[in-house]
A = this chain, B = another copy of it.
Amino acid sequence: MAQDLDRALLQEARSLFKKLPHDFADSERPLAPERVVLGKMLFFDPRWSVDQNVSCSSCHNPALYGSDALTKSIGVRGRRHARNAPSALNIAGDFAANWRGDRKDVEDQAITAAIGALSTGHTDHVAWIAQIKSIGGYLAMFRRAFPDEDDPITPTNLSLAIGAYERTLATPGPFDAYLDGNILALTSQARLGLRTFVDVGCAACHNGAGVGGAIFQKFGAQMDYWLATGSKDIDKGRFDVTKDDADLYVFKVPGLRNVAMTPPYFHDGSVATLPDAVRVMARVQLGRTLADEDVDGIVAFLKSLTGELPKDFSTMPTLPAGGAR
């Protein structure tokens, strides 16, 4: 790409995208280190699920970039989730949680998952609280994280701790260096791919710091998605949450950070490879059939969204021993 075109592309990219923040703290929820430490423990600890064998990290596995590589996740007691697990990385930056946006934020997701039939398997908060209390060490950590409370092992505090931890999981990568002005942080193929990504219309929905994660959109703007993906079960998306016809087949536009590391794709994990996912999106959302070189370019650009894992995600905590039966 010629220098002036490269400069123009960078300028346009800066108007559409943003660098990832260092973390996803908000003013109401400062990231107290004691909460992050506790939240990390709870995230990786399988002992508070009903069979003491499933943790947040079971489906949000650091070795698989915070995902599980399954079409649809397997929760407690082998129960199959209805949708593909989004990565836990950068997800705290999304405007809502889950494919259908039926959870407000990561805290809302955590408190709901704590009693999710498919996730922990608990039917109320009493059981997991008892399990956590039976493990020596947790009470002291909850007290440090919530110093003003007499009895701090509560659903709200669990969600605040796990949320605080997840709000630290940002993965800046080459694309952020590019937005910072280092044009060569992206290969020329990736820059051409970015050009295509913007020109064909992907960036209409996939924009901002998350390269998505900011709006809902109908999956199937130009044709029914299941015809292009080969999905066998048809998911009505947000309609099942709101019962509003306008929400039929509507899902959260997923952020594309680390997308190259988290196949398979879409809410149902129906597409196995990134080039195929790009092709499907072009057909289904934009009504276009992309040339192979355009697909390759977009894939090269998407690979520039792969960041480094936060050390606090790739390094396991040492959980307090004891208490499990």
Chain A residues at the B interface, C-beta cutoff of 8 Å: 44-47, 51-53, 61-65, 68-71, 74, 77-78, 260-264, 272-273, 309, 314-319, 321-325
Known: A47-B69, A316-B316. A74 touches B53 (CB 8 A): yes
Question: In the complex the two chains form, is A68's CB within 8 Å of B44's CB?
Answer: no
Prevailing SS type, chain A contact patch: loop
| 11 further interface pairs, Cβ-Cβ under 8 Å (given A63-B316, A264-B325) | A44-B63, A46-B69, A51-B74, A51-B78, A63-B317, A64-B321, A65-B321, A262-B321, A309-B316, A314-B316, A316-B316
Q: How far is the CA of A243 from the CA of B168 in the complex (A)?
A: 56
Task: Please pick, from B263, B315, B325, the residue contacting A314 in the complex, using a CB distance under 8 A.
Answer: B315
Ordered by A's residue number, 21 sampled pairs between the chains whose C-beta atoms are within 8 Å are A44-B63, A46-B69, A47-B69, A51-B78, A52-B70, A53-B74, A63-B317, A63-B318, A63-B319, A64-B321, A65-B318, A65-B321, A261-B318, A262-B321, A263-B322, A272-B323, A272-B325, A309-B316, A314-B318, A315-B316, A316-B316
A40's nearest neighbour on chain B, judged by CB, is: B63
Distance in angstroms between the alpha carbons of A47 and B62 in the assembled complex? 14
Q: Are B273 and A70 in contact (CB under 8 A)?
A: no
B63 touching A264, Cβ below 8 Å: no
The answer, among B273, B318, B324, for a CB contact under 8 Å with A263, is B324
**Which residues of chain B have C-beta atoms less than 8 A from A322's C-beta?**
263, 272-273
A320 nearest CB neighbor, chain B only: B261
Tell me, in angstroms, the Cα distance from A315 to B321 when the chains sit together.
19
